[in-house]
Chain A
Amino acid sequence: MTRYALTRCAVAAFATLAFVPLTLAQTKPPAAKPAAPATAPDPTAAEFDKFREVLEEDNPAELFEAKGKELWFAKRGPNSASLEKCDLGLGPGVVKGAYVRLPRYFADVGKVMDVERRILHCMVTLQGFKMEDLAKQPFSNPNRTPDPVSLVTYVAGQSRGMKIATPMSRPEERETFEIGREIFNYRAGPYDFSCATCHGEDGKRIRTQPLPNLTKPAEAIRAYQGWPGYRMTGGVMHTLQWRMNDCFRQQRFPAPDYASDTITALLAYLAVNANGQVYKGPGIKR
């Protein structure tokens, strides 16, 4: 391995270590033959998997769940109101099981919303926050975790152990799913990348990071339950809004608007593909 040329992701990872950001480890050379076919067991992935369980057992995401719970019940915003009357789709105030039934169609706004968008809607309508303010710096960094991130983590945690059951009964929900599938496969930009470029096949990885095939339930759930996720790189909590945004960055696209229809459609596609699988998140990610 070289000292001088890291991927951007690696630079980010090591910056958080902050010890010797540009010194990398010596790694063992592979056996003197071409790489094993992708179907063969991957020793690096196997070693990661062994310690996944350990990491998941005590996941700092729980700290953000606790914070989100506190925020949910606190009287906040210009209206000094809590979110206890927020309707996440199962009726005002019902949080248990709401996450695994999102995104869904909401008659009060006449559109399909994902969890973060719905929480933002409640913060605006019930608490009196301004959407412009909430959208200003929507993503976590080591110094700041936006409130919606903690709230999403709390709401997601209240569906832990439940089966994903993203509704598809309304035409609006089916159309959103179909548009999401189109966006997933939409190849553009200088590198000709779509989501499917990396997430359309089984058993692939980028560097050492496994790339789940998001078109299949068993693999889609691996991605879906990772989020909201505590990211070890930087030690920050992120939601799927961030994940989609950063995927588009790596796709070399321009920036998608936060809480936009595009992201909702992609999340609907992802969630429906994970239907029937048990949600075990919030997760912990590299």
Chain B
Amino acid sequence: MDRSRRVVLKGAGAGGALAAALAAGLLKPGSALAAWNKGAFEAKNTADAMKALGVTNAAESKDIQIRAPEIAENGAVVPIDITSTIPGTTSISVFIDKNPFPYTGTFDVSQGALPFVHLRVKIGESSPVRVVVAAGGKYFTTAKEVKVTIGGCGG
């Protein structure tokens, strides 16, 4: 399998990305294979997760659309659509602030996919869903609050 395409937050140009990735420990020198970013995934808050991923100075952007329920029918399955209209979008990352491990994943759209992803996630308590988009060497961000409620007894 082709693992050379590793998912990293491709924020900078090729050289810059590599440097940033190295700095953040995303890529181990001497290895073409970057690991699934354990540090970021095990971070207990969004800020630490972003630090582990090398995300800095993410600017608030209106050009990222998050479609998610305001009140989720069930926190075990919350459907989320993310679309970026920022030119040159290379990756989309998702953080659920109030989850014990907020960093939920990164989607690499730099190799022929459109800047869109649909996923379904667990949200343990009402929380902002934060999205970070990497595009043209910069980071952009927006968030949407999702509420989780008590439901009935089984539908």
Contacts and interface: CB of A to CB of B under 8 A. Distances in A.
Partners in one complex: yes
Interface of A: 1, 6-10, 13-14, 16-17, 19-20, 23-28, 44, 47-48, 50-52, 54-55, 58, 205-211, 226, 229, 231-235, 243, 246-247, 250, 285-286
Interface stretch (B16-24, B31-39, B65-73, B130-138): B65-73
Interface in B114-130: 118, 122-126
Nearest to A43: B71
Nearest to B75: A17
A286 B151 contact: yes
A19 B76 contact: no
Interface stretch (B53-61, B83-91, B142-150): B142-150
Contact of B73 (A1, A7, A232): A232
B71 A44 contact: yes
B76 A25 contact: no
Contacts of B125: 20, 23-25
B70 to A, nearest CB: 6
Contacts of B69: 47-48, 50-51
4 closest A-B pairs (Cβ-Cβ)? A209-B152, A25-B126, A19-B124, A285-B155
Given A14-B124, A17-B122, A47 B71 contact: yes
Interface residues on B, range: 20 to 34
A10 B151 contact: yes
A28 to B, nearest CB: 7
Given A7-B150, A209-B155, 12 more contacts: A16-B76, A20-B125, A24-B148, A25-B126, A27-B147, A207-B151, A208-B73, A208-B150, A209-B151, A209-B152, A209-B153, A247-B154
Given A232-B77, A286-B73, A20 B151 contact: no
B79 interface: yes
B64 to A, nearest CB: 19
Given A25-B125, A47-B69, A226-B155, A235 B76 contact: yes
B74 interface: yes
A52 B77 CA distance: 11
A231 B122 CA distance: 14
Contacts of B74: 13, 232-233, 286
B141 to A, nearest CB: 23
A84 B72 CA distance: 42
5 contacts: A10-B150, A48-B73, A50-B69, A207-B153, A208-B73
Contacts of A47: 69-71
Nearest to A243: B154
A250 B124 CA distance: 25
A229 B75 CA distance: 18
- Residue from A19, A243, A250 with most neighbouring chain B CB atoms (10 Å): A19
A226 B154 CA distance: 11
A51 B75 CA distance: 13
B13 interface: no
Contacts of B151: 9-10, 13, 207-209, 233, 286
B46 interface: no
A250 B153 CA distance: 8
Contacts of B122: 17, 19
Contacts of B72: 51
A231 B152 contact: no
B73 A17 contact: no
Contacts of A16: 76
B121 to A, nearest CB: 10
B152 A285 contact: no
B148 A25 contact: yes
Nearest to A51: B69
Contact of A1 (B77, B99, B100, B150): B150
A17 B123 CA distance: 7
Nearest to B72: A51
B149 A25 contact: yes
